Amino acid sequence: MGASLLQDAVKRCALVSQHAGIRAVLVHALHDRAKQFYEHYGFQASPVHPLTLLLRLPKSQVSF
């Protein structure tokens, strides 16, 4: 269920990014296991805080 919710959230962000300046999805993992979950789906850890992860949206979806 978690993967389905994440997929839906990312799809919705991608749709909104067509009309707004959204370039990425940012999440704050609560613990290492959650971090591994997000990394499995392509999120990358922030250099500032290891439990903050970022998923860049495709450029074709964020261009104006």
41 is an active site residue = no
Q: What distance in Å separates the CA atoms of residue 23 and residue 63, rounded to the nearest whole number?
A: 9
Task: Say which of 17, 38, 43, 53 is annotated catalytic.
Answer: 38
Q: Hey, which residues are catalytic here?
A: 38
